Amino acid sequence: MAVITPDNRGLRLVVRYAVLTLIAIIFIFPLLFMGMSSLKPDQQLLADTSSLRAFLPVGDLSLENYREAFERAPVGLFVFNSVLVTGTTVLLSLAICSLAAFSFTYLEWRGRGLILSIILATLIIPFETIAIPLLLLVSKLPWIGFEGLEWGWLNSYRVQIIPWIADGLTIFLFVQYFKDLPRELIEAARVEGASWFQIYYKVVMPLAGPVLATAAILKFLVMYNQYLWPLIVVQQESYRPVMVGLQYFFQLNIAWGEVMAYLTLITVPVLAFYLVLQRAFIASIASTGVKG
Amino acid sequence: MADVRLKNVRKSFGAVDVINGVDIEVEDGEFVVFVGPSGCGKSTLLRMIAGLEDITSGTLSIGGTVVNEMPPKERGVGMVFQTYAIFPHMTVRENMGFGLTIARAGKEEKDRRVNEAARILQMEHLLDRRPSQLSGGQRQRVAIGRAIVRKPSVFLFDEPLSNLDAALRMDMRMEIGKLHQQLEATMIYVTHDQVEAMTLADKIVVLRDGEVMQVGTPMELYHNPANLFVAGFIGAPSMNFLSVDVSEVADGVALVSNPSLDPVRIGSVKQPVAVGHKATLGIRPQYLHPTDPDKGMLHGTVALTERLGAETIVDVAMKDGTKIIAALSEDRMLDPGTEIGLTFDTEQAHLFAEHP
């Protein structure tokens, strides 16, 4: 067994921080490059890529790229669309998937094991394989809106939200977490007279903070990064999300400064969301052993 | 308040029978303890009464109503779990008032009953704390408080003291005893600790492998065990068992002996024994008294002496190699290797046809 002396304890700390710093640099440099490049004119941006200057705020800096990005594409609308679609999907997903997981974990009904296995098996199916059948399906589904009954969900928010609410991974995360909650808590609530739904929202959900944060972040990332699905189901600009909006910058002449400005703008909501939930997220990953 | 009756109650998990046709009657206001080694089915039986486990067959009634199919909340039971099971996200007050909140009781009514329960359990000063700020004993008090507040007709305790340290366990045991006197409620208590069973119970149910071995008051079980299992389980240190030869049986009195035991007549014959067969003689360590080697009824050599101050535990190796234990109610040093004789009151010895 190694002996910890004051000397090698200091050394260990140095090594530990060196490794952590290196990892942080690897993750931060792309972000730094994006942010710095967004402030530089194209010529300088391309010239800087061969040196460390690419990561430094040096040279001719301005917010010109941002102004032009807003001119080229309706950035505000795309961010609004993405935040609306992502936010709604995350909230509905947390509610629906946690209810499903509650039922799989605590209620006794015939076939629940089989159905849970089938749901988990869907995790291995890549989205690309079901994209076309799903497209055909949603193009024919009915909807009752303000204008009465209509057919087909294309070009709408709902087509970007509803197919993504329930998914195997989120249900799996909740099932794992619920299984680890002490069973006596549920039994005590039952003896005290609580109904199953009361147990769900008065006992189980208040204790589900960490898994809610994990599921929310994972779902948020999936939804905010949506590209293929909105590309094929939304043709109208008014419903387009941020990732599809990136296309606007790759038509005719590519202005890399504007691309970087756009990317910086659409990264802000993701970072903000993660920073708010990171403590709970890390706690949950540590306690469930589930790596995202 | 209510009585609880189990008639031929069975429970199986698949092909495994956990409870094999149990009949138990718990009278209104009685304190009944289910005791037995782990895996004997006592907790399962309690959970069946609570409604947390289904009953495979038989009838269970509480207060005269058959409750086999009734969900837990309609049975009028309150339960205290071994792991406390108090809700970590609620304060003590919210925990104790949980049942009333669910039942949509008025705020005044809830406050009054929570305060009353807190007063009984002397924990008024803890009401606004969270469970994480409480010690194990305090948490268990909260769990008991939560059960009291709803005024259930039957209280169920599932090894409530197992997670507490020895000193606290004794305090809480006395408090539960006091609580029973105060509330005069029907209480069913599960434990594997025979001291808890002996001190708390009006009536003890001894279980083994899902079957009732004996039901009776603590003293009935102690002085009149129906079988070897109960004889060995109740009392500490455990009863000594000697394999003996039966040489005569007349008018319910048997004459028995073995190489270390001079022939003695035993009146307390628990199961029919036959002349010429082996039987088991049970003698509690407390009823054995040391004497000179040539005077006693039993003969052996001191193997070990444990002096506890007011009591001395002596391990004696018999001639045939078996060991028996004598508990002397005095401080006395007997050197290992000393030859010794032991006498006992034959009225306090029991004869069983079974073999351990």
Residues A50 and A93 placed together within one structural domain of the fold: no
Reduced to 3 states, what is the DSSP secondary structure of residue B1? coil
Residue with tokens 């739904």: A197
- Which residue of B86, B96, B102, B157 is the best one to mutate when testing the A interface, meaning the one whose CB has the most A CBs within 10 A? B102
Which residues in chain A are contacts of B150 at CB distance < 8 A? 192-193
- Domains of chain B: which residue ranges? 4-233, 240-352
Is residue A67 assigned to a domain? no
Is B88–A188 a contact, with Cβ atoms under 8 angstroms apart? no
Is B85–A182 a contact, with Cβ atoms under 8 angstroms apart? yes
Residues A29 and A101 placed together within one structural domain of the fold: no
- pLDDT at position A290 is 39
- Tell me the C-alpha to C-alpha distance, in Å, between residue B130 and each of B87, B135, B138, B299: 9, 11, 11, 61
Name the closest residue on chain B to residue A192, using Cα atoms. Answer: B99
Q: Which of A34, A62, A90 is the last residue of a domain?
A: A62
Q: Which of A13, A40, A62 is the last residue of a domain?
A: A62
Is A188–B52 a contact, with Cβ atoms under 8 angstroms apart? no
Preceding peptide of B237 cis, ω within 30°: yes
Q: With an 8 Å Cβ cutoff, is A148 touching chain B?
A: no
Is A189–B98 a contact, with Cβ atoms under 8 angstroms apart? yes
In angstroms, the first-to-last Cα distance of chain A is: 34
- pLDDT at position A292 is 34
The tens digit of pLDDT for each residue in B211-235 reads: 999 999 999 999 999 999 999 999 8
| Contacts A–B by Cβ distance under 8 A | 59
- Tell me the C-alpha to C-alpha distance, in Å, between residue A142 and each of A92, A96, A151, A163, B125: 20, 21, 4, 14, 60
Neighbour-count burial for A202-233, b at 16+ CB within 10 Å, e otherwise: bbbbebbbbbbbbbbbbbbebbbebeebbebb
ipTM of the complex: 0.85
- pLDDT at position A2 is 55
- Binding-site residues on chain B for chain A (CB distance < 8 A): 50-52, 71-73, 77-79, 81-89, 98-99, 102-103, 143, 146, 150
Which residues in chain A are contacts of B85 at CB distance < 8 A? 182, 184-185, 187-188
Query: Cα separation of B232 and B282, whole Å?
Result: 9
Least confident of A46-50, A181-185, B86-90, B349-353: A46-50
- Which residue of B46, B94, B101 is the best one to mutate when testing the A interface, meaning the one whose CB has the most A CBs within 10 A? B101
A84: CATH: 1.10.3720.10
Residue B303 pLDDT > 90: yes
The class of domain B240-352 in CATH terms is mainly beta
Residues A47 and A78 placed together within one structural domain of the fold: no
* Three-class DSSP labels, A120-146: HHHHHCCHHHHHHHHHHHHCCCEEEEC
Residues A34 and A127 placed together within one structural domain of the fold: no
Residues A97 and A11 placed together within one structural domain of the fold: no
Is residue A159 a contact partner of residue A81, using CB atoms and an 8 Å limit?
no
Query: Into how many domains does chain A fold?
Result: 2
Which residues in chain B are contacts of A107 at CB distance < 8 A? none
Strands in chain A per DSSP E: 142-145, 148-151
The tens digit of pLDDT for each residue in B99-152 reads: 999 999 999 999 999 999 999 888 999 999 999 999 888 999 999 999 999 889
Which residues, including other chains, have CB under 8 Å from residue B278's CB and lie 6 or more apart?
B243, B244, B245, B246, B355
Q: With an 8 Å Cβ cutoff, is A190 touching chain B?
A: yes
Query: Cα separation of B72 and B54, whole Å?
Result: 11
Name the closest residue on chain A to residue B98, using Cα atoms. Answer: A192
User: Which residue ranges of chain A lie beneath pLDDT 50?
Assistant: 288-292
Residues A78 and A25 placed together within one structural domain of the fold: no
- The parent domain of residue A150 ranges over 72-291
Which residues, including other chains, have CB under 8 Å from residue A247's CB and lie 6 or more apart?
none
Residues A100 and A184 placed together within one structural domain of the fold: yes
Which residues, including other chains, have CB under 8 Å from residue B44's CB and lie 6 or more apart?
B11, B18, B19, B53, B210
Residue type, B178: K
Residues A9 and A154 placed together within one structural domain of the fold: no
The tens digit of pLDDT for each residue in A27-36 reads: 899 999 999 9
State the fold for domain B4-233. Rossmann fold (3.40.50)
Residues A57 and A80 placed together within one structural domain of the fold: no
Which residues in chain B are contacts of A184 at CB distance < 8 A? 81-85
Distance from CA of A183 to the nearest CA of B (A): 9
Is B85–A184 a contact, with Cβ atoms under 8 angstroms apart? yes
Residues A112 and A24 placed together within one structural domain of the fold: no
In angstroms, the first-to-last Cα distance of chain B is: 41
- Comparing CA positions, the residue from B31, B61, B37, B35 lying closest to residue B48 is B61
Residues A24 and A139 placed together within one structural domain of the fold: no
Is A191–B98 a contact, with Cβ atoms under 8 angstroms apart? no
Is B102–A193 a contact, with Cβ atoms under 8 angstroms apart? yes
Is residue A124 assigned to a domain? yes
